[in-house]
């Protein structure tokens, strides 16, 4: 009887949770809040969802978009950093990540009104399941055509990670990508669930209305070695695993471009620094924040860069200036494939191994020559007892035979031979003349190698019999 009561309680709790989530979804569609919250300045509020807003286009045809992971908006406001930032920069649209604000406290604490003084339309997406966690926001001087909160996939929509604004010529997506976790406990979710679904979402925006997409925010990945201070020491760290970097490459391969790296291919700049270790003063950081755009949008970008002098968070803001008049539809313009994620140093090693094969056999050859020289001195021309040979000995002897054949045919001169020639030249001798005048009789070393070769042939014949 007790088991049945526990089961009933569990069912009721699950039902209640589902009803709450459905209410959030309904509220987000009606503009009341829940999954998304639209703050309208009181002086202009006519429509609860999209008011009659005076600014409907970007000034002078230039869209100045900024993105910043504030790591807690109230903390940055308390330091007056974001207020000073807004005064110093002429910003049309500001996208914030990791706001860490609950929906109920936005109006109560007058965060939006106190910060932006009714200059911006405000769009908030707060975490639904955990207080003071994640969250995104967009503040825009220009009225968008439409707004969408989250991806429309339940398992991805509980942490307030995306807001999408549709403008006349493009979509703007502010995103705070899930972190894989210190113990990589969310790595599978991140790379096998979130990344593929998010890529499909972005491509869907392009295809449904034939508009370019601008994705900005903390994407929680350093794509290449140039994007992180200590690549070798962070191969198993969240944000630099092979899986995360490969998924980012897949995103770029789908027709998107990393705008900063495309415009600044060799420049080393970071957007995140660990505050505990004082890494920012030493500029030991990661490039985790991006403006990723549709490939055809690259020709319309005037500039994109890190605003590294702005403090207040463990991330710095990013700026993105777009010439709206130059925007082309998706699929128009040249496409350049993304750079591979294989580290450059490893690539150099592979190339050098192909170009300079002499550097590899040098050490091996010297060791085998020593064995070949030491063995015949102890047991000269005395064949070993049958059954005492191991496969390792046979392999070593085969290598010696190959060296003997190469020397006989005059192929594959080793670096050790070059050193011997240099010694002869330093002593005043001429190695070319010496080779011509030298007798055809083989050296002792060649004789011993030839004897070993004959022994091996005999052994192989015996084994075949």
Q: Tell me how many degrees the CA angle 327-319-204 measures, rounded to the nearest 5.
A: 45
Which residues have C-beta within 8 Å of that of residue 244, sequence separation ≥ 6? 180, 187, 190, 191, 195, 220, 221, 238
Neighbours of 447 (CB within 10 A): 13
DSSP assignment letter at 192: I
Q: How far apart are CA 36 and CA 25, in angstroms?
A: 9
Q: At what angle do helices 195-209 and 242-253 cross, to 10 degrees?
A: 10
93 phi/psi in degrees, rounded to 5 = -135, 130
Take residue 51 and report the two structure tokens written for it. 């008011």
User: Is 218 in the active site?
Assistant: yes
Distance, CA of 135 to CA of 112 (rounded, Å) = 15
Please tell me whether residue 274 adopts helix, strand or coil conformation: coil
Question: Which structure tokens are listed for 460?
Answer: 């192989």
**Catalytic-residue membership of 176:** yes
| Longest pairwise C-alpha distance within the chain | 107
Q: Give the residues across from 146 on adjacent strands.
A: 166
Helix axes 391-409, 361-378, angle to 10 degrees: 110
Answer whether 148's CB lies under 8 Å from 108's CB.
no
CA-based nearest residue to 67, from 172, 212, 160? 172
CA distances from 25 to 37, 130, 251, 296 (A): 11, 17, 28, 34
- Contact predicate 326/294, CB 8 Å: no
Dist CA 165 CA 159 (whole Å): 18
Q: Report yes or no: 314 and 279 within 8 Å, Cβ to Cβ.
A: no
Helix (H, G, I), strand (E, B) or coil at 445: helix
Identify the active-site residue in 37, 66, 120, 176.
176
Residues 372 and 366: their CA atoms lie apart, in Å, by: 10
Proportion of the chain in helix, strand, coil states, percent, rounded to 5: 45, 15, 40
Q: How far apart are CA 150 and CA 447, in angstroms?
A: 79
Q: Which residues are catalytic?
A: 176, 218
């Amino acid at each position: 009887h007790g088991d049945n009561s526990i089961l009933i309680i569990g069912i009721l709790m699950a039902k209640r949770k589902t009803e709450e989530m459905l209410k959030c979804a309904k509220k987000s569609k009606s503009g009341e809040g829940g999954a998304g919250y639209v703050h309208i300045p009181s002086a202009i509020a006519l429509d609860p969802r999209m008011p009659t807003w005076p600014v409907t286009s970007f000034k002078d045809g230039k869209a100045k978009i900024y993105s910043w992971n504030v790591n807690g908006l109230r903390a940055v406001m308390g330091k007056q950093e974001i207020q000073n930032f807004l005064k110093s920069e002429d910003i049309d649209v500001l996208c914030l990540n990791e706001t860490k604000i609950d929906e109920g406290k936005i109006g109560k604490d007058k965060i939006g009104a106190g910060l932006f003084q009714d200059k911006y339309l405000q769009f908030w997406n707060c975490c639904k399941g955990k207080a003071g966690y994640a969250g995104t926001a967009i503040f825009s001087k220009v009225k968008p055509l439409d707004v969408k909160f989250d991806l429309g996939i339940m398992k991805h929509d509980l942490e307030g990670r995306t807001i999408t604004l549709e403008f006349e010529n493009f979509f703007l997506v502010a995103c705070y990508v899930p972190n894989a976790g210190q113990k990589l406990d969310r790595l599978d979710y991140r790379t096998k669930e979130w990344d593929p679904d998010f890529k499909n979402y972005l491509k869907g925006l392009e295809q449904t209305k034939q508009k370019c997409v601008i994705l900005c925010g903390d994407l929680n990945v350093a794509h290449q070695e140039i994007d992180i201070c200590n690549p070798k020491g962070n191969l198993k760290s969240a944000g630099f695993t092979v899986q995360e970097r490969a998924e980012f490459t897949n995103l770029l391969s789908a027709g998107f471009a990393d705008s900063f790296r495309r415009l600044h291919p060799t420049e080393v700049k970071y957007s995140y620094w660990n505050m505990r270790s004082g890494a920012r003063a030493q500029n030991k950081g990661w490039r985790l924040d991006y403006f990723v755009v549709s490939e055809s949008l690259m020709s319309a970008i005037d500039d994109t860069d890190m605003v590294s002098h702005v403090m207040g968070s463990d991330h710095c803001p990013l700026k993105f200036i777009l010439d709206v008049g130059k925007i082309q539809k998706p699929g128009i313009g040249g496409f350049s494939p993304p750079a591979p994620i294989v580290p450059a140093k490893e690539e150099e090693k592979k190339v050098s191994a192909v170009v300079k094969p002499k550097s590899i056999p040098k050490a091996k050859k010297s060791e085998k020559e020593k064995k070949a020289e030491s063995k015949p001195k102890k047991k000269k021309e005395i064949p070993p007892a049958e059954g005492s040979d191991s496969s390792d000995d046979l392999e070593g002897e085969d290598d010696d035979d190959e060296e003997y054949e190469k020397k006989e045919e005059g192929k594959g001169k080793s670096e050790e031979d070059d050193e011997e020639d240099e010694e002869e030249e330093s002593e005043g001798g001429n190695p070319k003349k010496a080779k011509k005048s030298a007798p055809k009789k083989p050296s002792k070393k060649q004789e011993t190698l030839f004897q070993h070769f004959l022994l091996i042939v005999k052994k192989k014949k015996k084994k075949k019999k």
